Amino acid sequence: MRKIEHLGIAVADLKKSNELFKRLLGKESYKEESVEGEGVKTSFFQVGETKIELLEATREDSPIAKFITKKSEGIHHIAFDVADIYAEVERLKKAGFEILNETPKEGADNKLVVFLHPKSTNGVLVELCQEK
């Protein structure tokens, strides 16, 4: 794992949170993108070598909608940049982690992504990202 690619933050209202993070970081979001497969609308802010990914649910069964209902808005996942996502999935499986999707799926911002179950990672949802 090469660096933290992004921190995912679950938000209830993307427009309001975009304004909040613009005030906080002193810069504009550089991209907004919907990912239908995950039921989310995202907005990205660059912070040095990493990013903040704001996520708003676009439907009731989205992981973001469930997370906000059960917990609250806040940090939802940590995403690591990897060079070879297939090799990393094999390594992590052998190391005993629970992989949620062994076949990488389409993420936002031109990435292939895989998730690890938070129950196998001290309660933290982990995402692996590989540039497409």
Ligand X SMILES: CC[C@@H](C(=O)O)C(=O)SCCNC(=O)CCNC(=O)[C@H](O)C(C)(C)COP(=O)(O)OP(=O)(O)OC[C@H]1O[C@@H](n2cnc3c(N)ncnc32)[C@H](O)[C@@H]1OP(=O)(O)O
Chain contacts with ligand X (rule: CB under 6 A): 8, 35, 38, 40, 42, 53, 55, 63-64, 66-67, 70, 76-77, 79, 100, 107-108, 111, 113, 115, 117-118, 123, 125, 127
Which residue's beta carbon is nearest to the bound Co ion? 8
104 makes contact with Co ion (CB under 5 A): no
| Cβ neighbours of residue 52 closer than 8 Å, sequence gap 6 or more | 6, 7, 9, 21, 25, 44, 45
8 makes contact with Co ion (CB under 5 A): yes
Burial 65-74 (b: 16+ CB within 10 A, else e): bebbeeeebe
Smaller CB separation from ligand X, 22 or 105: 105
